Each structure stands twice: as C-alpha cells, then as structure tokens.
Amino acid sequence: MFDMTRRDFAASAGLAAALGLSGRLLVSPAFAQKTPDPAKGFVTYKVGSAEVTAIYDGIWEKPHDPAFIANASVDDVKAAMVKAGFPADFVSIPFTVIVIKNGGKTVMCDSGTGGQVQPTAGKLAANMKAAGIDPASINTILISHFHPDHIFGLMEKGTNAAVYPNAEIIVSDVEYKFWTDPAVIDRLPEARKGLARRIQAVFPTWKNMRQVEGEPEVAPGIRFVSAPGHTPGHRAFHLSSGTSQLMISNDTAYVPALVVAHPEWRGAYDQDGAMAEASRRALLDRVIADKAMICGYHFPFPGAGTIRKDGAGYALTSVKA
C-alpha cells in the first residue's frame, strides 16, 4: 500500500550487537512488536489442483493518524479494528506473500518488504525456507503495483541488486509507465519521490521484467485483473483450477477490517479514492457472484477467506489455518 515511514533502526541494532544483545532486543522498545507472529510462518492450501502457500513477511502496527481515512475519524477506525477482533491502539497491517505451484510452474505474487519498509517485517526469506521453497525455483513473479511493501523484496538493500535475477517479473504496462515517466517525480508528493527515483534507477536496467497490457493469462491458470485506483495500474490476480477460484486481491481491499466493512472509506494510500472504491466494489461483487475464495496482501494471516454482503458493506470470513 503504503508510503510507510522509513525508520532507520540499523544504528540501534548495531549498538545492540556491539553490546552482545540479540534476538528481540535488537529492536529498540519503540519498535517492539505487540502482535505475536503466527506459530508457523507459512500455510499451504489447495485451490483445485493448484498448491498455494501463504508466507508471512511480518506486520506494520501503524500508529493512528487522522489523515489515514479521509471520511472516517480515528475513533471510527479504532471501533472497526476492535469489531474485527484487533487491538484498538494501532492499525494491524500484516504482509503476506503467496507462492502458487500450478501447471509445472512456481509463481510468486509480489515480493515482500525485503526488510526495507518496517523493522517488524522482512521475514519472507526465513519463512520461505521453512516452507521448503527455494527462491531460485521461482519461475515467475507477478507484481500488483509498485508500492514499497510489494516491490522492495525484489531489490537488495543498499545495492539494488536483483534478488530474483532468473525469474520473469510480470508487471502492468500502466503501472510501469506511470512510475518510470521522468516527469512523474515532479508531480508526486514529497514522500513518494524517492520511491519513483529508485524504480527509475533499477527497473529499466532489468532484462527479466515484462510489461503486459490488459488482463492476459500470465502464468498457468492465473490472469491479471484490472483493479486501478490504489495506483494507476494496480492489478489483482485470478487463479482458476477446475471449478475452484481464488481472487488474489492484493491491495484492492487492503485492510478488510476497514474497507471491506466500509468500502466507501477513502484511504490516504489510494491514489484515486473514487476509482479505488469502484474497483473494490466490482472485485468483491465478482468474488461473491463467482463463489470464489479471496485473499489479500494485508488480510489477517494466512489471508484466505470468503466474502458476503453485510448491510451497506461486505464481510470477510477468514479461513482458519
């Protein structure tokens, strides 16, 4: 989603290491994580004959901010979090990457934070290893959009070296053109300029990134689904196998406690709020009509569930791990 505050915790980690401290003490108390990690950092389930593995990358416990939702107060946001079973004192925003094995191919959906977004995230590599997935075995990476929490896992911290040089990385042509336009930097808010500069310095040099137009099949049984608004070229991914379907919604309905329950809420991270709401409603209506499963990058881990109408909004029933 998200234009997260970059906090440099390396200095405190270095100091802690020098003092011989380790483990959770590496993170200074200000960043201490209140949400326990899942007991197991990966969950595998089937969609038809496709094998889907949800892999936990971590969480952002976002401090409340009156500007977060334009048409809801902090008290409204707190009440919505509590109603969905979460603590009131921050917004729980987990990060979950999924890896799909289908048709002889291994496909990863988005890339995690790369440990470069929040000090409480960056666990993808360790949890992927625990799941028995070799990163070198990934044939294809589908990218939903170019926000940091979805693409920084493609790039090594500091050097920007490719983490997956041998995978084909498939992106929307609209998203690619938006972020790589040199003129976009002047038009972006200050907090987004660095992101665009990093993208422009790195992605055009990669030979393994492919732009696709529209909603093609991009991997066995997986199609892009246009869901703009969050960003201009934001895409969901639709997995179909036999009679089973999974809508990988990415950030179309980012924090379900907020915008599945209240699809009309306008989040600060939706670049075009009206378009994001229209895409969100269309996607959720399609999931209901098709009796599909849904998952989302920021849904409660492991992220999969079903959707139903609930008054003026919608409700997510999470599948228990």
Q: Which is nearer to Zn ion, 1 or 307 (CB)?
A: 1
Residue 149 · residue 108 · CB < 8 Å: no
Q: How far is the C-alpha of 197 from the C-alpha of 200, rounded, in Å?
A: 5
Q: State the number of CA atoms in the 13 A half-sphere of 50 facing the CB.
A: 27
Q: Which is nearer to Zn ion, 151 or 222 (CB)?
A: 151
The yes or no reply on residue 141 touching Zn ion (CB under 5 A) is: no
The yes or no reply on residue 4 touching Zn ion (CB under 5 A) is: no
DSSP string, 82-119: HHTT--SSSEEEEEEEEEEEETTEEEEES---TT-S-T
Smallest gap from Cβ 250 to Zn ion, in A, equals 7
The yes or no reply on residue 1 touching Zn ion (CB under 5 A) is: yes
The yes or no reply on residue 276 touching Zn ion (CB under 5 A) is: no
Residues whose CB falls within 8 Å of the CB of residue 240, separated by 6 or more in sequence, listed in order: 48, 221, 222, 223
Q: Which is nearer to Zn ion, 240 or 250 (CB)?
A: 250
Smallest gap from Cβ 127 to Zn ion, in A, equals 18
Q: Which of residues 148-177 bind Zn ion (CB under 5 A)?
A: 149
Smallest gap from Cβ 2 to Zn ion, in A, equals 5
- State whether residue 190 is helix, strand or coil: helix
Measured between alpha carbons, how far is residue 310 from residues 130, 222, 262, 283, 313 in Å? 38, 29, 10, 15, 5
Smallest gap from Cβ 230 to Zn ion, in A, equals 8
Residues whose CB falls within 8 Å of the CB of residue 41, separated by 6 or more in sequence, listed in order: 55, 56, 123, 126, 127, 130, 131
Q: Which is nearer to Zn ion, 1 or 248 (CB)?
A: 1
Q: Which is nearer to Zn ion, 234 or 262 (CB)?
A: 234
Number of residues counted as binding Zn ion (CB under 5 A): 3
Comparing C-alpha atoms, which of 292, 258, 203 is closest to residue 1? 258
Smallest gap from Cβ 301 to Zn ion, in A, equals 14
Q: Which is nearer to Zn ion, 1 or 295 (CB)?
A: 1
Residues 233-272: x/- map of binding to Zn ion (CB under 5 A)?
A: ------------------x---------------------
Strands 42-47 and 50-62: antiparallel
Contact positions vs Zn ion (CB under 5 A):
1, 149, 251
